[in-house]
Every structure is written in C-alpha cells, then in structure tokens.
Structure 1
C-alpha cells in the first residue's frame, strides 16, 4: 500500500513589498475593528478577512490563525506605545520627573487609540496563551534603556534601576492598568486613576533615589 502523502507545509509570507505591507495593515485594522465591535466572541478569521476586504486565503498567507492575529495586533500596538513612551521619558512635553512619568502612564492607558473593548480582548488572549512575559520583556527593556539615557549626567532625572527594581516598577504600574482593563473599570481613562498610577511610580522612584544618595535631599543647617 502506497504511503499517504503528507500535506505540504504552508510557509507564511513576510510582507516585504509595499502592497504586502498594506495588506497586513488592512488585516490588523480589520481585526481591531471586529474586536471593538463584538469582542472575542465575534472574532474569527472569516470576519476579519471580510472587514479587511481580502480573501480568507490571503489572510492565511500572513497569519496562521486568529491567535497569530491577536499576537500581531498586540505587537503592533506595543511598538506604537513604545515610541510614545520614549518621547515621554525624554521629557519632550514636560522634563520633570513627574511630567515624564505622567506622559508615560497616559500613553499606556490610552493605547489602542481608545478602543477599550479591543484592548481587553487582546489582553485576555495574550494572558490565555501565556504570552504576557514575551510582550512584557521588550517593554521593560525599553524603559530600562530610556531610563538609563535620561538618568545619565551629573544631575540625573531618573535613578538607574536594578533588574529587580525595574521588574517591580513595570509590573506594579502596568499590572494596575491591565487589571483596570480586564475588569472594565469605569475610571480607567480618568484623571484620578492616572494620578494614582503616577503617585505610585514617582514615590517608588523617589525612594530609590533617596536610598542611593541619602544626603541628596538632606536639608543643610
């Protein structure tokens, strides 16, 4: 009896040309719109393809399944957020420590361009797939690199954070925001919530600075 032939492996295309890149953008935008309109319950590859105006075969050329779509959407939004976080940490709008932290927190809270339902669906999917660490690592690394740049010089704005301090700082702030997203807290985008996250981050950074240089803020007689 002849051996059963194995189906050929389908290699996912990497969008190198401008048209291919535009197709991927359209697919991811369609995915975000479907998630915002109906959440994970309405999120299927067929629905995304229809919303994006492409065939299902075209969608599968770039994404193996809807989980790959969710991860790609999360990565896209993270890249946009990191660029904004970088500008915040450099103090382009407000050079003070609180100003930099506030700008960073505001950027993270307002990620996904205000699409709260889409953001919740992506966060849920990422956590279910155990990919939270994969996406958190570049965020932490970016904040560490940007913080080191800002913290250099004779009078640094931000203290240099150890690996442990960076872990606590990123998880405390991002964890609180993530919880508010998943719980659909009505205050998520309020100034009061932003104030509390900023208070937490600034107090923690201030404590690190004071511990590293006890005499820096000591009043002289």
Structure 2
C-alpha cells in the first residue's frame, strides 16, 4: 500500500475488500477512463460502501496508485512463474519483458492511467530499486555486467516500455515488440562483451 493509504489491511477480510475495490477500479478505468471515474462509482461497482473506500484510500489518485502497485507485484510473481517453468525454455530476460507486457490483464486504458499516476507519485529511489531487480535477471542470463552497463540497459528497456504504456501504442501486445526488446538487451550486452574482449587482448 502507499503512503496515501489511510489504513493497511492486515486481516484476510480487509485484504479481500481492498482486492475487490482495486479490481473495480481497474474495470472502471478501462471502461470509462478518467471521465467516469469517481469514488462513488468504484464503491457501487465493488459492492461496498463509500466509507469502505475511504477507510483505505483518501482519494482517487491513491486508488490508481494502489492499483499500479498491485499490478507491479503481480508482474513480479508472473515473472518468477515464467522463470520456474523450465520446460518452456524461456530465457530470464524474455520472461521479464513478457511478464511486464502481460500485466493489467490486457487492460491498456486502465494501465495507461494508473501507471501515469504511479510514475508521478513514486520516488526516483523506489523506481531505481525496481530496475535493479531487472539487473539481477540479466545476471542470470549473462555473466555479471558492470553497474554502468546495467544502468544504461535497464533504463533503455524501461524507457521503451514506459513510453509504450503512456503513449498507448497499438503494437504493445504484439510478439514483435517483445522480440525487439529482447534483441535490444542481447545486442547491447554482446557489444559490451566484445568491447571487453578486445580490451583484454590489447
């Protein structure tokens, strides 16, 4: 939950209520966009009182931010699931990209709105920690890379994904987009390795 959340749900019933509220938030954002998005509409859609909304979320932005946080956590879980499915032969870097693209259950409109709020509200340090997780995935695929190379690559891939989400590109779920991001990662790392090998020989 975020700093804007009034109360953190600790009991199972409270957690279930929050899950229902966030699912209603996603459905409304996808269907109506921001124009029809109100806390009253969320309460009606979720089948809870308006008081239940304000018990955990002080405003609409907090709802959208929490939705993005939830999907980010689910993205991490999906990435681990893909990595553990060894029979598929899916490489770790591709698993990470595929899990990110598949987040929000394909709800592109809800994702664009919620992630826009998330990027506005999330401190740069928190975003950096998330991108560091990508470096760990890359290190499962390749030999450990230098911090500067990890920084350049993770920010390049994140920038492409972020722009694709916020701009609402129509190829976001196309296989070729996933392939291009994986190609970007591997081509850059291959160039880094080749440069390092050349320096070693010199």
- Could you list the per-position Cα deviations for residues 166-197 of structure 1 after superposition, in whole angstroms to 9, with x for gaps in the alignment? 22222211211221222222111112222211
Cα distance, 1:167–1:86 mapped onto 2, change above 3 Å: farther
Alignment of 1:22-37 (within 5 A): 22-37=16-31
Residue pair 1:140, 1:170 contacting (<8 A) in 2 also = yes
In the TM superposition, what whole-angstrom CA distance separates every residue of 1:81-117 from its partner, at most 9, and x where no partner exists? 112223445673326xxx3322221211111111111
What is the aligned partner in structure 1 of residue 9 from structure 2? 15
Distance 1:109 1:77 in 2: 11
Alpha-carbon distance in 2 for matches of 1:133, 1:42: 30
Q: Which residue of 1 aligns with 2:111?
A: 119
Partner of 2:152: 168
Bigger Cα Rg: 1
Aligned equivalents of 1:63, 1:71: Cα separation in 2: 10
Q: From the two aligned structures, give the one with the greater helix fraction.
A: 2
Structure 2 unmatched runs, 5+: none
> Structure 1-normalised TM-score?
0.78
Secondary structure at the aligned position of 2:8 is classed as: coil
Aligned residue for 2:7, secondary structure, equals coil
Corresponding position of 1:73: 67
Greater relative CO (CA pairs within 8 A, separation 6+): 2
Pairwise CA distance, 1:58:
1.0
Quote the residue 1:106 is aligned against: 98
CA deviation profile, 1:111-155 (whole Å, cap 9, x unmatched): 11111111111122233x35273552332122233444x2xxxxx
Match of 2:89 in 1: 94
Asked if residue 141 in structure 1 is aligned to residue 132 in structure 2, the reply is yes
Residue 46 of structure 2 aligns with which residue?
Answer: 52
Residue pair 1:90, 1:146 contacting (<8 A) in 2 also: no
Number of aligned positions between the proteins: 196
Looking at structure 2, the residues matched to 213 and 89 of structure 1 have their Cα atoms a distance apart, in angstroms, of 30
Instruction: Assess if the C-alpha contact under 8 Å between 2:92 and 2:137 holds in 1.
Output: no
Seen in structure 2, the aligned counterparts of structure 1 residues 42 and 119 have a Cα distance that, compared at 3 Å, is: same
Q: What is the RMSD computed on CA atoms of the aligned residues? A: 2.5
Q: Distance between the aligned counterparts of 2:109 and 2:45, measured in 1?
A: 17
